[in-house]
Amino acid sequence: MRLAWILAAALLFPAAASQAQETLQAYQVERSSVLTVTSAQNGRTYDLYIKLPPGYADPKNAGKRYGVLYLTDGDYTFQVASGITRLAHNLKRLEEFILVGLPTAKGEDGMVSRRRDLTPWSDPELPGVSGGAAAYLGFLVKEAMPLVEKTYRIDPTRRTLVGQSYGGLFGLWVLFTQPQHFSSYILTSPSIWYKDYALATLEADYARAHKDLRARVYMATGSFEAAKPGDKRYNQNRDMVADQQEMAKRLRSRQYPGLQVVSEVSPGTYHETTFPVGLIQGMQWLYPAP
C-alpha cells in the first residue's frame, strides 16, 4: 500500500513523492558494523566493514575464535562476500568466518585511492600517485587489524587476504615480503604484469633467501582474460591467464614444504566478473564445512 501511495503521489504531487522516498528505510546488512580509523601511517581515514557469521552471538560459541577474510576493494568485495556467504553459512555449506571489508580512503576517488594503496612500486606511466602498498600494509597490520581483532573474537593464525586485480597484485607482494601476517590468500585476476613483471623478480629474490613459504594460495583468472587479438571478448594485448599460470608454476617449482597453491581458470568470465566465482571457489577450498 505504501508503494502504491508513492507511485500515485509521484504523478500528482512530485515534491511529496520525493519527500516520501527520502523517509524510506535504507537496506542494512545483518550482523554488520562499521569501524572508522584515521591512520597514523598515512593520515587518511578508512572505514572497516565487519560482518559476523550467524553463530557468533550464540552463547555456546562464546569462547570460539573465528577465521577472518580481509577483503581489499571493500566497497565492492564486501557486498559480494556478504551475499554469497549468507545462504552458505545459514545452511552450513561453509565453515563460519568473519568478513572485514577494506574500502578505499574516505573522501577520495576510489580508483585514485586503490591505485596508490595497492601498488607496491611507483609507475610514472600511470595517472596520479602509485607505489603506496608499503604504507597501506603498515596501516593494516599496525592499526586496522589490531582494532578489528581486539573488538571481535578472531583467530589471528587464520587470516585470509582477498584481492582482485590490483588487490591480487598486493596480495602476492605481501606473500613475498611479509608472509607472516596471513595464513592464506584468495587472489583473482592478479595484475602480475604491473611494473614490467616486477613480481617475478621479487618472487625469485624470496626463493633465494628462504627454504619455505607457509601459506595456502588460491588464484583464479577468467578465461576471457587471455589475449586473443581480434576477438573482442578477450584481452587484446595482455594474457593474464598465462601470467597466473606462470606464477603458479614458479611457486610449485620451489617445493616449499608449507606452501599449497591452487590455480584455476574461470570459464566464461571477464576481468570484471571473475571475482565472485573465484571467491566462492577459494572459500570452499580454504573453509569447507566441518
Task: Give the number of domains in the chain.
Answer: 2
Cell representation of residue 123: 609507475
Query: Are residues 40 and 24 part of one domain?
Result: no
**78-132: per-residue pLDDT in tens?**
999 999 999 999 999 999 999 999 999 999 999 999 999 999 999 998 898 999 9
What would the pLDDT profile of 123-176 be if each residue is shown by its tens digit?
A: 998 898 999 999 999 999 999 999 999 999 999 999 999 999 999 999 999 999
Sign of the four-CA dihedral 93, 287, 284, 77: positive
Are 181 and 58 members of one domain? Answer: yes
203 plus 221 within the same structural domain: yes
Q: What is the span of the domain harbouring residue 88?
A: 31-286
Q: How far apart are CA 226 and CA 265, in angstroms?
A: 10
- Quick one: 104 and 231 in the same domain? yes
The grid coordinates listed for 269 are 568470465
Q: Is the pTM of this model over 0.75?
A: yes
